Amino acid sequence: MNKPIIRVFAVLLLLFGLLAYFTTRWTVLDRADLQANPQNKRELLAEQKIERGSISAENGTLLARSLRRGDGTYARRYPENGLFAQTVGYSFLNPGTAGLERFYNGQLTGRTAGLDQTLRKLQGKRQQGNDLRTALDPQSQQIALDQLAGRPGAVVALDPRNGRVKVMASVPSYDPNVLRSARQTAVLNSAPGAPLLNRTTAGLYPPGSIFKVVTAAAAIDSGLFEPTSTVNGSNGVEISGVPLNNAGRKDFGQIDLTTALTQSVNTVWAQVGERVGKRRMSRYMKRFGFGRPVPVDLPGDERLASGEYCSTDGRRKIVDLTDSCVDIGRTAIGQDKLLTTPLQMAMVASAVANRGVLMRPGIATRTVDPDGRTAYENTPQQFSRVMSPATADKLTAMMTKVVQEGTGTGAALSGIDVAGKTGTAELDVINNITQPWFIAFAPADDPQIAIAVTIERTVGGFGGTDAAPIAKAVMESLLR
């Protein structure tokens, strides 16, 4: 009887081998898949027990903080409600995390803090996250929201000298506090106007004439043109074989580039674009940041790339400017298949303002650990040198004229020179649906603020009359 006994033992050993294999599978082989499973909330659940760091504005206003609940877990609250909704984001068990809450999750939970936190744990202290400080300006943000007055659109303002983001307004907004309830989350997810969308970084719009600043930078910096170079500004010049119209079908005759920018003459800039060519244009656009997700400290899926979007086999895809689907003349005046995010256009203004050096935009300035020491510093970084200081100076002079006597007078501030450019992209000619834009920086001689404003789908709105006044109000607040 001993042989069968040993065989039974052998069969059981095999079964135990199976157990060992499956344990290996879950702990090692399939580990990453299981941890990435959307149903796996262990990470988030564990974080409920951590006192998450606060998020504050530059003036110390608390934008997010954690409240201790009776059962030892923490609940997130947003004292300013919807003021910085899409930027600050949210952190709740059910919808998860978004915005700064997501991007800086490691810092806010203290999980990436390393040795100090480990020591705290050994001392038996509660795990506590690092506080996040930002450069955001609540008053100016409120003005931006008030100015948009419920019209879907975006305002983004930053300091061109260091890239610090001051205003990041996206309308419609929402109150992140309501996301505590799963039902409200579902409602917001399917709400009209997509309030959860951060339009400043993930809204893609045709830029219209504000893009002429990019064309002008390429034209002058490459040495092909000067602000005084003259080009034929007649109406109906053929671009890529199709006649192009100026606004109001106006004939300008031979005019210089400064006048052409001040009056936003399409035919001039389209011809300039054709002269500059796809390759050169592409190079300058890349220096401005086009072609890849707009660089800012927000999660990857909340940032989109600006550039030419062509449809290949039914799918809209960003392409290089050298692609055959690109009409360079119309791209140069912000038409064709060009789509941009408001933050990208603020970066264009910022690069001119900072004498050709584009600083990488940054919302957070630093994180501070529970003992008050700086845990992480988001130091200003140069993104690229877009153009020479001389080119930037020339462009500044041209853009200053736009606000002084051209299409952008609506943004003029008393006693401070503003450099800007208007844009009005036509979305639907028959119903007169437009996308007004305005980009600017001020003061023109010592730029401290660069801004981009856009409003979605207005009926007959213009950049100069609808977007420029919003920029004016926000800049006024920021320069105070």
Partner 1 sequence: MSARNRELLGLAPASLLIVAGFGAVFLQEGARLGNLSLTYGAIFLGLCLAAHIIVRIRLPDADPYLLPIVAVLASIGLVVIYRLNATLARDQAQWFVVGLIAFAATIVLLRDYRVLERYRYLIAAGSLLLLLLPRVPGIGQQANGAYLGVSIGSLSFQPAEFAKIGIIIFLASYLRDTRALLVSRKRFGITLPRLKHIGPLLLVWGLAMLMLVFIRDLGSSLMFFGGFLAMLYVATDRLIFPVVGFGLFSAGAWFFATTVAHVGDRVSAWQDPFDPKLYEQIGGSYQIAQSLFAQADGGLWGQGFGEALISVGDSPILPAAQTDLIYAVIVNELGLIGGIALLLVYVLMIERGFRIAVVARDSFSKLLATGLTTVVALQVFVIVGGVTKVIPLTGVTLPFVSYGGSSIVTNFVIVALLLLISDRARREARR
Between CA 101 and CA 359 the distance in angstroms is 23
From candidates 31, 125, 292, 316, binder to partner 1 by CB under 8 A: 31
Catalytic residue among 56, 140, 173, 209: 209
Is 71 a binding residue for partner 1 by CB under 8 A? The answer is: yes
What distances in angstroms separate CA 287 from CA 270, 359, 406, one per listed residue?
A: 21, 11, 28
Instruction: Say whether residue 126 binds partner 1 (CB under 8 A).
Output: no
Give me the half-sphere count of Cα atoms (radius 13 Å) on the Cβ side of residue 49. Answer: 8
Give catalytic status of residue 414 as yes or no: no
Choose the binding region for partner 1 from 39-47, 167-175, 181-189, 343-351 (rule: CB under 8 A).
39-47
Q: Total number of residues binding partner 1 (CB under 8 A)? A: 40
- Please list the alpha-helical segments (H only) found in 311-449: 328-332, 342-353, 389-405
Cβ closest to partner 1, residue 110 vs residue 208: 110
Beta strands 55-56 and 131-134: pairing type? parallel
Helices in 248-334 by DSSP H: which ranges?
A: 257-262, 266-288, 328-332
Cα distances (angstroms) measured from residue 397 to each of 352, 406, 463, 465? 11, 13, 20, 22
Q: Does 8 bind partner 1 (CB under 8 A)?
A: yes
Q: Which helix (H) or strand (E) holds 200?
A: helix 199-202
24 lies in the site for partner 1, by CB under 8 A? yes
Pick from 9, 316, 374, 445 the residue near partner 1 by CB under 8 A: 9
Nearer residue to partner 1 within complex by CB, 41 or 457: 41
Q: Segment near partner 1 (CB under 8 A), from 5-13, 164-172, 239-247, 283-291?
A: 5-13
- Alpha-helix residue ranges (DSSP H) falling in 228-265: 257-262
**Residues paired with 318 in a beta bridge:** 309
119 lies in the binding site for partner 1 (CB under 8 A): no
Q: Would you say 69 or 373 has its CB closer to partner 1?
A: 69
| Span of 1-9, 272-280, 328-336, 356-364 interacting with partner 1 by CB under 8 A | 1-9
Write down the least CB distance from residue 160 to partner 1, Å.
Answer: 45
Strand partners, 434: 426, 458
Binding site for partner 1 (CB under 8 A): 1-9, 12-13, 15-16, 18-20, 22-28, 30-31, 34-35, 37, 39-40, 42, 45-46, 48-49, 69, 71-73, 124
Catalytic annotation, residues: 209
